[in-house]
Amino acid sequence: MDNELSDAQKQLLIERASNARQRAYAPYSNYTVGAALLTASGKIYDGVNVENASYPATICAERVAVFKAVSEGERDFEAIAVVTSNGGSPCGVCRQVLAEFGLDTLVITADANGKIETEMTVNQLLPAAFGPQHLK
């Protein structure tokens, strides 16, 4: 992928992530996150963070979106938008999950007002990523 999304595509992903964010379940941190993942087929899968009283059982919005896409047979991702109150960046586990499906995936972070905070590839977010090539 050449990471050349149009401004309209970026805004659509941010809007979808922002809408999804409204459905997040975050009663402990009150830090709601929405994600919208664009696949190479053109489909968009959204996700929200889902917290749990047993904190390790919590799952992030980015992984929900990826797992939904993978469960539908998608493996090639173009971009993901992540919307939080303050434009926070994906956690390390989410970066690793995204790396599994391509280091060139564009990651866009935006705040609650839709203002883009960062745009970078998974490779830029997770340099020297551990991947399938290390298991050969």
Catalytic residues: 62
CB atoms within 10 A of CB 8: 8
Place of tokens 């659509």: 12
- DSSP secondary structure of 12-51: HHHHHHHHHHTT-B-TTT----EEEEEETTS-EEEEE-B-
Q: Exposed, middle or buried, 121 (CB in 10 Å: 0-12/13-18/19+)?
A: middle
Can you read off the two tokens belonging to residue 14? 């941010």
